[in-house]
Structure 1
Amino acid sequence: MLTVSSDSGYVEDAFGWASQRALDWVQTTVQTGDGTPGNLPSYWAGYPSRDMFYSRDICHQAAGAHLLGLDAENFAMFRHFARSATPARKWFPIWAFHFDGRIAALDYHNDEHFVREIPAVFDLCYRALEQYDWTGDRRWLDDPDLAAYYETSVGEFVTAHDADGDGIPEAGGTADIFLGTATYNEREAPLLIAGDGLATQYAVLRKLGRDAAADRIQATYQSWWNGEQFARGVTKEGLDFDWGLESHTLAALFGITGSGERNERFLDYCEAKMASNPPLNIESKSYYPELLFKNGRDESAWSWTKQLIDSRDDYPEISFTVVDHLVVGLLGLRPQAGAALTIESHLPQEIGRLTADHVRIGDWDLCITQEARRCTEVTVHSGPGPLTVTVGTATHLIQPGETVRVETKDPS
């Protein structure tokens, strides 16, 4: 079982709360001897008042769930969503299910009137493929339902919703979630195309190795720059440059904003708006540490992480993502196909040491310690052979039972 220790009692206490609370949300049961049906392997992913799991939520909870050993639950839920994307629903997946697999009627009236948001289509693909990076489990690639979903999402789904033939699906511009929206931001303007929808589509295309198509999507997004910021999306009147919450922050998270000076200026804009116009729903804030850690803004990322920790909010996404931020975010973990790992410390000034023990990468069981920005130590407890681990510019093949300690130059 994953454990975290640190020179910071605050970090240890936060991990203890988040890991236990996340595990409390597991809903997996089996059919009883009297024939009472059980639940799918699943965990709660949505409002605590709703006994359901939602597509957007499991996408963001999946990494933390993997760290806590919930691979069976991740696989069952993602596959359940994949199976629900049918021609009758124009390749949109269902928005929410009950734990026994029934469609949640609260968000579904019929195949033409149900909650659907374009980013979820691609987010499910991206996060499922990300689980292959964590686990190395070929089912994430080869399972017929998931494999078909990846193909239809970047194929038939786009064609069915692309009125102008530019390879980008559009929403109807009504801002009615039961008719389909362009963005995860349900309080957004009636956008036809949104930054988060475009960014998740871009990320999936990159993940699938379809770089030419990804380049075209990114070029479209880059044309939304006005010299100060990117637009949050497109309305019937043209580009909309108001603050977009997810349609701005998820664009930067999924990398469609690129790198260099323009990206840094846009991140400055996002950080200022995140502080001055925070979202009303705390689950939207749960993306902020991931966004900022990925872009090397570690002190800001840690500040937002502490807000989530201190809230002790009972929305399930918070506990799962706090686990993720404390391990993946702070240690800077990037797995590749369950067979390699890149590590880069993102510890803020107030944390001198952080150890995560029993981190699972594919079939390997690891202990990883960061000492500020000075040193990274990796122990491979067990595994099928040497694991490829990259720290900084150095790559090591670490055998089971071996510990490698890498001294790094503190960039601060």
Structure 2
Amino acid sequence: MKNHLLALWITCCSIAAQAQGPTFTTTDTAMQQASNWAFQMVQHYRGNPADPIGPWYEAALPSRNAFCMRDVAHQTIGASICGLDKENRNMLTAFARNIAASRDWCSFWEINKYGKPAPEDYRNDKEFWYNLNANFDIIFACWKLYNWTGDKRYIEEPVFVNFFEKTVQEYIHQWTLQADSLLTRPLHPNAPASFNNADYFHRCRGLASYVENVPDLKAGVDLIATIYRGLLSYSSILSLQGNTTKAALYKQMAEHYREKIDQNWWNEKAARYYTWYDGAGQFGTGEGEMFLLWFDALKDTARSRHTITHLVSNPWNVETTSYLPVILYKQGYWQKAADYILQLADKATPRREYPEVSFGVVEGIVSGLMGVEPDASHQRITTLYRGATGNNTTLDGLRVLNTTIMVNHADKKTIFHNKGKQPLLWRAAFAGNYDKIILHKTARRASHRKDNSGNMISYIDVKVEAGEKVEADVN
């Protein structure tokens, strides 16, 4: 009986630990403190699965007990890292399920724990708040979660397929979001007959940006970047499913939006992108350019660097700042990314309790600092340490691609342990230009790529069997 109870206790502890996410340890004491705070805060925002909505976490102003589309789209990877996969699935399904013709193919912008549209943002199907980026951001989130978890339901379940198809067809048409119409579209394409500009449920029913403080906004550059990434994600989904003809069509369509950004939105004199275009036919600048990088919509490296320089040279609200760690790590600005993590986790930072902050820090540490990038279509996990030399850093118990891994980075050496029950491909990457990478004391010829800042990355691909531990180094 005692042995049975002991086994049951061990099992329960194992399940609880998995639900809490991985453990992160590092000799960098400041980063350790930041990670401790962030991982704990993510768990703090986990909702009660017995609530009417089902499993959920806060992704809006905490006082609302709700989650909105932009915040969820941003928080999903941090949530998955911390074991909130049931929450991700349930919340994204709720958004997808509620797309409706009566709302001109919008969903509910914000849903509360009671499973209802949050009254702060919804009165009825003709009067509600909605940012038009949202549908495309959710498509991107589904694609990212498929690649992170390997869960095909995000891209194959009928509720999501319907959401994707209605968004890339009816939604674009209904809101006049064709690439060639963005500067000529009406301010309020689906305004009710009794339109009242003083009523923000009328005025903001279809905001053409995530930036909400520009009057008479016709289009935001962030909307174009979001459409581009949403369509490109949809193209990738179609390609994975073997629909190559349709995939090519939407890839071309996505590229048309991206080209518009460089053709119409670059301010040569200021060496930065305009961020909004209003009903008076005027371009202007403000918030929003961060999304050009988040959605990887910039292919001109010089303009990309100008954009980053402007971003890191100015203060932003905490929501915008929470995106920057992952962006800057992947763009090659590693020290600045680490600085933002420490800033966001600092108790002196105003509004650091906003849910996006802790989720963004978690993703910044795991996907940014540790360089963990899963690719479900190739059953491959890349690792790349982007931290300072001299530190010993370990991520253990990370659930990813239907398996569990441990990654240890130390002194140009990485140890990768596949703790799961299925083999996978490990792409062992190192910063620098190395001819060879040592694997099990045997030199293997390295392949190379450059990050967006031109930094050379050397890597090899290694098949790692279930339960196998592999070591690679460049010493």
* 164 and 399 in structure 1: CA distance in 2 versus 1, 3 angstrom threshold: closer
Residue 57 (structure 2) aligns with: 43
Counterparts of 1:324 and 1:202 in 2: how far apart (Å)?
23
Q: Which region of structure 1 is more displaced relative to structure 2, 174-183 or 4-13?
A: 174-183
Residue 329 (structure 1) aligns with: 368
* 226 and 317 in structure 1: CA distance in 2 versus 1, 3 angstrom threshold: closer
Counterparts of 2:303 and 2:354 in 1: how far apart (Å)?
35
Give the partner amino acid of 2:334: D
Counterparts of 1:261 and 1:283 in 2: how far apart (Å)?
26
Q: Does 1:359 align with 2:398?
A: yes
Give the partner amino acid of 1:172: L
Please point out which of 59, 66, 71 is paired with 1:52: 66
- Asked if the contact 1:329–1:346 (Cα under 8 Å) also holds between the matched residues in 2, the reply is yes
1:228-307 → structure 2 map (5 Å cutoff): 228-238=271-281, 240-242=283-285, 244-245=286-287, 247-272=288-313, 275=314, 278-279=315-316, 281-307=317-343
* 364 and 238 in structure 1: CA distance in 2 versus 1, 3 angstrom threshold: same
* 337 and 163 in structure 1: CA distance in 2 versus 1, 3 angstrom threshold: closer
Residue 172 (structure 1) aligns with: 187
Residue 187 (structure 1) aligns with: 213
Give the partner amino acid of 2:279: K
- Asked if the contact 2:325–2:361 (Cα under 8 Å) also holds between the matched residues in 1, the reply is no
**Secondary structure, counterpart of 1:155 in structure 2:** helix
What do you get for the CA RMSD once the two structures are aligned? 2.3
* 334 and 156 in structure 1: CA distance in 2 versus 1, 3 angstrom threshold: same
> Offset at 1:124?
1.2
Q: Which region of structure 1 is more displaced relative to structure 2, 107-116 or 155-164?
A: 155-164
- Asked if the contact 2:375–2:381 (Cα under 8 Å) also holds between the matched residues in 1, the reply is yes
Residue 154 (structure 1) aligns with: 168
- Asked if the contact 2:56–2:87 (Cα under 8 Å) also holds between the matched residues in 1, the reply is yes
Residue 387 (structure 2) aligns with: 347
Counterparts of 1:225 and 1:195 in 2: how far apart (Å)?
10
Q: Which region of structure 1 is more displaced relative to structure 2, 21-30 or 216-225?
A: 21-30
Please point out which of 306, 315, 337 is paired with 2:354: 315
**Secondary structure, counterpart of 2:254 in structure 1:** helix
- Asked if the contact 2:373–2:381 (Cα under 8 Å) also holds between the matched residues in 1, the reply is yes
**Secondary structure, counterpart of 1:106 in structure 2:** coil
Counterparts of 1:260 and 1:320 in 2: how far apart (Å)?
28
Give the partner amino acid of 1:382: G
Give the partner amino acid of 2:63: S
> Offset at 1:163?
6.8
* 332 and 241 in structure 1: CA distance in 2 versus 1, 3 angstrom threshold: farther
> Offset at 1:330?
0.6
Q: Does 1:105 align with 2:145?
A: no
Residue 452 (structure 2) aligns with: none
Counterparts of 1:96 and 1:76 in 2: how far apart (Å)?
14
For the pair shown, the structure with the greater C-alpha radius of gyration is: 2
Counterparts of 2:154 and 2:179 in 1: how far apart (Å)?
30
Give the partner amino acid of 1:183: S
* 286 and 165 in structure 1: CA distance in 2 versus 1, 3 angstrom threshold: closer
Residue 10 (structure 1) aligns with: 30
1:27-176 → structure 2 map (5 Å cutoff): 27-30=47-50, 38-162=52-176, 166=180, 172=187, 176=200
List per-residue Cα deviations over 1:222-254 (Å, max 9, x = no partner): 112232122213223445242x22x21111221
- Asked if the contact 1:376–1:408 (Cα under 8 Å) also holds between the matched residues in 2, the reply is no
- Asked if the contact 1:359–1:367 (Cα under 8 Å) also holds between the matched residues in 2, the reply is yes
List per-residue Cα deviations over 1:241-289 (Å, max 9, x = no partner): 42x22x21111221111142222222222322xx2xx23x422211121
* 179 and 363 in structure 1: CA distance in 2 versus 1, 3 angstrom threshold: closer
Gaps of 5+ in 1: 31-36
* 375 and 190 in structure 1: CA distance in 2 versus 1, 3 angstrom threshold: farther
> Offset at 1:171?
7.0
Gaps of 5+ in 2: 1-17, 189-196, 236-249, 430-457
Give the partner amino acid of 1:114: F
Identity %: 27
List per-residue Cα deviations over 1:99-121 (Å, max 9, x = no partner): 13111111101112111001212
Residue 381 (structure 1) aligns with: 419
Give the partner amino acid of 1:80: A
List per-residue Cα deviations over 1:306-361 (Å, max 9, x = no partner): 11110372222222221111111111222112721222222146x72321111222
- Asked if the contact 2:146–2:155 (Cα under 8 Å) also holds between the matched residues in 1, the reply is yes
TM-score (norm: length of structure 2): 0.78
Counterparts of 1:343 and 1:203 in 2: how far apart (Å)?
24
Counterparts of 2:341 and 2:291 in 1: how far apart (Å)?
17
**Secondary structure, counterpart of 1:346 in structure 2:** coil
Residue 233 (structure 2) aligns with: 207
Counterparts of 2:266 and 2:363 in 1: how far apart (Å)?
32
Give the partner amino acid of 2:251: D
List per-residue Cα deviations over 1:170-220 (Å, max 9, x = no partner): 572779563221111212343212111111111122222232111111111
- Asked if the contact 2:70–2:134 (Cα under 8 Å) also holds between the matched residues in 1, the reply is yes
> Offset at 1:386?
3.3
Counterparts of 2:276 and 2:340 in 1: how far apart (Å)?
25
Counterparts of 1:83 and 1:48 in 2: how far apart (Å)?
24
> Offset at 1:408?
4.2
TM-score (norm: length of structure 1): 0.89
**Secondary structure, counterpart of 2:369 in structure 1:** helix
